[in-house]
Amino acid sequence: MRPTDLDRVRGLHLFGQAAPETFRVATAGAHLQRFPANTTLLFEGDTVDFLYMLLEGQVELHGTWNDHETVMAILRPVSSFLLAAVVLDADALMSARTLERCEILMIPGDAIRTAMQLDARFAMAVSRDLAGGYRGLVRTIKNHKLRSGVERLANHLLALRSADNAGSTVRLHYEKRILASLLGMTPENLSRAFAALQAHGVTVEGALVHITNIAALEALAKPDPLIDNHAPRGGDILIDADAEIWSSEWNRKARR
Amino acid sequence: MRPTDLDRVRGLHLFGQAAPETFRVATAGAHLQRFPANTTLLFEGDTVDFLYMLLEGQVELHGTWNDHETVMAILRPVSSFLLAAVVLDADALMSARTLERCEILMIPGDAIRTAMQLDARFAMAVSRDLAGGYRGLVRTIKNHKLRSGVERLANHLLALRSADNAGSTVRLHYEKRILASLLGMTPENLSRAFAALQAHGVTVEGALVHITNIAALEALAKPDPLIDNHAPRGGDILIDADAEIWSSEWNRKARR
DNA sequence: CGCGCATTTGAGGACTGTCAACTTCCGTGG
DNA sequence: CCACGGAAGTTGACAGTCCTCAAATGCGCG
């Protein structure tokens, strides 16, 4: 592993407060691995032997039941995933696959659990990460149970605008069929939802979405700090303030 | 606080592995409080000063948006709640209210965070609790995004049967309008869902539900270990194997 | 015994999913 | 550089699911 990569890992909030010895123990058995696009890293039900740290690229977490599939989350650098399974030494509840070429640091689960026993501050950092993830999922459930598809899309656009501190134009970070599944609808329905938002100040041009009337969109979306995380803090999985948002392959492609 | 209550708390998985000193620190500032039924303990958005441990009664966690409300979880003894908010010292994302008379142990959040710094084993126990809660929410999201209302109800009945290791008759633990909201539907729809299950070996008699054809119900429900937690282990919030399931007021009332 | 709330049932409408056809976009290979 | 094939995205028709409103029924508590 290159020193540069080690530095990037050292800077993660998960290790920020940990003792140097803890960091050494955890990263001793770790290895950096590159995966091509559309590669399944892990199927749901598989035993989880590693904590995954996404350093480059995008990863999709999804779940399956009865021949149907739903996207649970899209991860972007730098985020960890499968931490809950690692802490409990349990099977994965979601499958993970790369959406593009990825660099992923794989840390043995044993090392994580050992480090937690040795270093209370590291164990607290793990707790904070899990607590942030927990709260992110609570927000997701409220989003799905309390809002319609159009409302979820409207809020997603506002969240994108806020996270990318962009102007009146935001860029979708992944394909619309994936966004549709993440938002809990079909691709056809997402298309109609975009059409419905035209009356509320939104025009679509491929992966570019122009918000021509923010007030109108917010009037429809009614964003709520108890559901939408528009001021990302450390710890949450879905949104990471440190992420280099224009770095992904797909966005380079989609840029015009 | 009575020694009996202290013993009950000591026996919780959260404190099971903690050092005696940790236990003393955490419970020193704690106080046991009784609440009548239908009492709101906390509104979403409120600052969270205590970790709550439910020792007796039932508590509902719910979220609100745009004049609509949805039940997120029903807690039964012995479970903790608001742990994620305590760990992050953050505001509550859900409101909490008692469904019946409750005994709740309130532990200052400061004490929890201090104990985590002092005792790595306690911090690990907190991590395991949060990881279990996280995985429970992942299951909930898969349940909602991949299944229809009737399928969610069918699986809920099978989960009840499994958790209460009952025979062919299970008893609902709370009012149907609350169950409806928990399952993400209206009371009218839950009523129709029960009617639809008649064709799959289910008959309803007030709070009693008779499963006359388990095979037929399972054929419809298609329970999945990656969604439904039919073999409850420690750590999860929604289901706790240690709970005395027939103790609640509502069940005593509903029994015939 | 009677009031109030939970539950049920019915009718109608809104939202969402499925299927099919068409268009657009993109990567590949000539 | 261009043409082509395949996948993604869009649009329309239709069906299924779910919600809303309204009214009737049942049940528990005072």
* pLDDT, tens only, B33-79: 999 999 999 999 999 999 999 999 999 999 999 999 999 999 999 89
Chain A interface disruption, residue of B21, B42, B82, B130, most A CBs within 10 A? B130
* Whether A141 and B144 lie within 8 Å, measured CB to CB: yes
Confidence category of residue A3, pLDDT binned at 50, 70, 90: low
* Whether A127 and B222 lie within 8 Å, measured CB to CB: no
In DSSP notation, A161-205 reads: HHHTT--SEEE-SS-HHHHHHHTTS-HHHHHHHHHHHGGGTEEEE
Q: Let me know: does A206 contact A220? Beta carbons within 8 Å.
A: no
Q: How many CB atoms within 10 Å of residue B69?
A: 14
Apex A83 CA angle, A116 and B133, nearest 5: 100
Domain boundaries, chain A: 3-118, 148-238
Residue of A235, A168, A225 whose CA lies nearest to A13:
A235
Predicted local confidence at residue A182, as pLDDT? 98
Q: What is the dihedral of CA B127, B173, B68, A198, to 10 degrees?
A: 70
User: Look-up: residue for tokens 């969109």?
Assistant: A217
Rg over alpha carbons for chain B, rounded to the nearest Å, is 19
**Identity of the residue numbered B192:** R
Confidence category of residue B16, pLDDT binned at 50, 70, 90: confident
List pLDDT tens digits, range B212-244: 999 999 999 999 999 998 743 333 343 333 333
Q: In chain C, which nucleotides are within 7 Å of a protein Cβ? A: 6-11, 15-20, 25-27
Query: Chain B closest CA to A150's CA: distance in Å?
Result: 15
Confidence category of residue B137, pLDDT binned at 50, 70, 90: very high
* Whether B226 and A45 lie within 8 Å, measured CB to CB: yes
Confidence category of residue B4, pLDDT binned at 50, 70, 90: confident
Which residues of chain A have a CB within 8 Å of the CB of B145?
Answer: 63, 70, 144, 184
Determine which of A27-31, B9-13, B158-162 has the lowest per-residue pLDDT on average.
Answer: B9-13
Alpha carbon B234 to its chain centroid, in Å, reads 13
Predicted local confidence at residue B251, as pLDDT? 54
Is B206 touching A (CB cutoff 8 A)? no
Cis amide linkage into residue B78, ω under 30° from 0:
yes
Predicted local confidence at residue A138, as pLDDT? 98
* Partner B, chain A 82-121, Cβ-Cβ below 8 Å: 83-85, 87-88, 90-91, 93-94, 113, 116-121
* Whether B134 and A132 lie within 8 Å, measured CB to CB: no
* Whether A87 and B184 lie within 8 Å, measured CB to CB: no
Alpha carbon B45 to its chain centroid, in Å, reads 20
In DSSP notation, chain B reads: --HHHHHHHHTSHHHHTS-HHHHHHHHHT-EEEEE-TT-EEE-TTSB--EEEEEEES-EEEEEEETTEEEEEEEE-SSEEESHHHHHHT-B-SSEEEESS-EEEEEEEHHHHHHHHHH-HHHHHHHHHHHHHHHHHHHHHHHHHHHS-HHHHHHHHHHHHHHHTT--SEEE-SS-HHHHHHHTTS-HHHHHHHHHHHGGGTEEEETTEEEES-HHHHHHHH---TTT---S--TT-SS--TT--TT-SHHHHHH--
Mean pLDDT, residues A26-45 taken together: 93
Q: Measured between alpha carbons, how far is A41 from A81 in angstroms, rounded to an integer?
A: 11
Q: Let me know: does A197 contact A187? Beta carbons within 8 Å.
A: no
Q: Measured between alpha carbons, how far is A26 from A110 in angstroms, rounded to an integer?
A: 9
Q: Measured between alpha carbons, how far is B70 from B73 in angstroms, rounded to an integer?
A: 9
Q: Domain B148-238 belongs to what topology?
A: Arc Repressor Mutant, subunit A (1.10.10)
Tokens of B17: 């592995």
Residue of B96, B68, B67, B66 whose CA lies nearest to B80:
B96
- A86, pLDDT greater than 90: yes
Predicted local confidence at residue A246, as pLDDT? 40
List pLDDT tens digits, range A138-180: 999 999 999 999 999 999 999 999 988 768 999 999 999 999 9
Alpha carbon A40 to its chain centroid, in Å, reads 16
* pTM score over 0.85: yes
- B152, pLDDT greater than 90: yes
List pLDDT tens digits, range A199-243: 999 999 999 999 999 999 999 999 999 999 874 333 334 333 333
Strand positions, DSSP E, A57-141:
59-65, 68-75, 79-81, 95-98, 102-108
List pLDDT tens digits, range A48-85: 999 999 999 999 999 999 999 999 999 999 899 999 99
CA of A27 to C1' of C27 (A): 39
CA of A145 to C1' of C25 (A): 34
- B256, pLDDT greater than 60: no
* Whether B72 and A142 lie within 8 Å, measured CB to CB: yes
Tokens of B158: 């099978």
Rg over alpha carbons for chain A, rounded to the nearest Å, is 19
Q: Which nucleotide is nearest to B186 (CA to C1')?
A: D19
* Partner A, chain B 209-238, Cβ-Cβ below 8 Å: 222, 224-227, 235
Sign of CA dihedral B193, B196, B197, B198: positive
Q: Does domain A3-118 have CATH number 2.60.120.10?
A: yes
User: Look-up: residue for tokens 């909201």?
Assistant: B181
Residues belonging to chain A: 256
The sheet with strand A208-211 has its strands ordered as A169-171, A208-211, A202-205
The pair phi, psi for residue A31, each rounded to 5°, is -140, 145
* Partner A, chain B 120-149, Cβ-Cβ below 8 Å: 120-121, 123-124, 126-128, 130-135, 137-142, 144-147
Predicted local confidence at residue B246, as pLDDT? 38
CA of A78 to C1' of C7 (A): 50
- Burial of residue B115 (CB within 10 Å: 0-12, 13-18, 19+) is buried
